[in-house]
Amino acid sequence: MSVATSYLQTLEKSLYDLISETSTNLPKDVRRAIKKAKEAENAGTRAAMSLSTITNNIVMAEDNVSPICQDTGLPTFKVKTPVGVNQLEIKAAIRNAIEKATEDAKLRPNAVDSLTGKNSGNNLGEGVPVIKFEQWENDYIEVKLILKGGGCENKNAQYSLPCELEGLGRAGRDLDGIRKCILHAVWKAQGQGCSAGFIGVGIGGDRSSSYDLAKEQLFRHLEDTNPIPELAKLEEYIVEKANTLGVGTMGFGGEATLLGCKIGVMHRIPASFFVSIAYNCWAFRRMAVDIDANTGEIKKWHYQDGEKITFRNEEEKAETKSESRVVELKAPITEEQIRELKVGDVVKISGRMYTGRDAIHHHLMTHDAPVDLNGQIIYHCGPVMAKDENGNWTVKAAGPTTSIREEPYQGDIMKKFGIRAVIGKGGMGAKTLKALQEHGGVYLNAIGGAAQYYADCIKSVDGVDFLEFGIPEAMWHLTVEDFTAVVTMDSHGNSLHADIEKSSLEKLAQFAERVF
């Protein structure tokens, strides 16, 4: 074997290890932030239950070496190389490592042709993965990777100052206007980005460079101090005030809405003043390594400073009286059973459910269903799937996706096929709520990002339809046991999501007065 071949094989292995570690094992600083949030939450609440599920999921992902969240996002690499290092070889090694990690179910196949809708199946495609190179004076290669799922990516925000903001009024071209934009973005995300989350903020630049700066902030250590005093003060202020909005974990209400805020600034042209926010869910999957430029071996892993919180064998807080009653359900479900459920109830499901995301909902608007869905449950989920040694499908990760994307279809689909329950995260809107009331349906909020926890509830894969849509968009037939979710929209016209949005907007308005 030649030296060049050995180097490339070692480099590819190092990049594969980086991808696998990023997908399955949260960094130490993120774990500490989640532990702090868990300790601050009130016992017996839906938020406390969510945080317990989250920490259990972190342990399971690490033990199973499987994705923390089923949405492994669009892999974004930032690579710094010494002068003279062949960047084309590194790009090829990254693509090979991505393809192998997808084959091994460390990543979900997420690369979709924007014109045809066809999934490439291997996470490779035009512009995917994202790889950005930069040269530097050091003699080693630094590779940073962030896996940012679609749910939180869709809650990114960009503001052009000056502007008018709901609840906060006018935001001007100054530090106080920036403050208002950031708070507004956190409020607007609600639980749809799998709060409690983290944000990176980019000030200045043009529209694209401002967003890039915002995402770059997500690579900062959570416990660092901004070298610009005004921004250091603003970062602390944002986290403190965001956690008084009452949005809480998963948008259920509670003490933890934001776990970190990092802000960067660059120059701009006089006519433009952009403030960009890159929102990241609690499953904050970013990692970095230093690689020997001569051998391809990993020399150092980043984010390894300080205590590692394992979340193993933790004693839960003594339970106070729970907010919720627990109801067991098994499909097919009757309208009478649904009408008995109310917002706040905890539901434990056993039996059959079917997955269905964007492609399925679009298809069912104009076609018949491949199975009888009367009285059944639809799960907004795009799982990570793999085949065992016998060629049978197994579930490697299976948390909920953001439901609001299905708002144009959901009510009509439920009425057309007699579906009684929908499971997802982040809630749905007025059209769906009206349909639930008219038809006798319910929306159940599962814990976003808890892909290992829910995969463990799935006892068998009994079939699949529409596999031509790609693994995430297919309709998987699943048998589950004690699948736990919270009723957040009921058949009586009640929506926890609408209530939290309204109450948190009232709290947001308290921060309208100038501070900076």
Q: Whose CA is closest to 49, among 349, 350, 189, 253?
A: 253
- Residues in Cβ contact with 37 at an 8 Å cutoff, skipping those fewer than 6 apart: 51, 196, 249, 255, 256, 259
What is the rounded CA–CA span in Å between residue 391 and residue 370? 23
- What is the chain's pLDDT, residue by residue, as a tens digit (516 residues)? 677 789 999 999 999 999 999 999 999 999 999 999 999 999 989 999 999 999 999 999 999 999 999 999 999 999 999 999 999 999 999 999 999 999 999 999 999 999 999 999 999 999 999 999 999 999 999 999 999 999 999 999 999 999 999 999 999 999 999 999 999 999 999 999 999 999 999 999 999 999 999 999 999 999 999 999 999 999 999 999 999 999 999 999 999 999 999 999 999 999 999 999 999 999 999 999 999 999 999 999 999 999 999 999 875 554 545 667 899 999 999 999 999 999 999 999 999 999 999 999 999 999 999 999 999 999 999 999 999 999 999 999 999 999 999 999 999 999 999 999 999 999 999 999 999 999 999 999 999 999 999 999 999 999 999 999 999 999 999 999 999 999 999 999 999 999 999 999 999 999 999 998
User: Is the link from the previous residue into 472 a cis peptide, with omega within 30 of 0?
Assistant: no
Going by the DSSP 8-state scheme, the letter that residue 318 receives in this structure is: P
- Residues in Cβ contact with 38 at an 8 Å cutoff, skipping those fewer than 6 apart: 48, 51, 52, 55
For residue 67, what are its two tokens? 């994705």
Cα 270 versus chain centre, distance: 35
pTM summary value:
0.95
- Residue 492 near residue 168 (C-beta atoms within 8 A): no
Q: What is the pLDDT of residue 324?
A: 73
Name the H helices within 303-450: 335-340, 358-364, 410-417, 430-439
Question: Which residues pair with residue 220 across a beta bridge?
Answer: none
Count of C-beta atoms within a 10 Å radius of residue 3: 9
Q: Whose CA is closest to 146, among 156, 136, 138?
A: 156
What is the rounded CA–CA span in Å between residue 255 and residue 243? 6
Q: What is the pLDDT of residue 1?
A: 63
The secondary structure element, H or E, covering residue 64 is helix 46-64
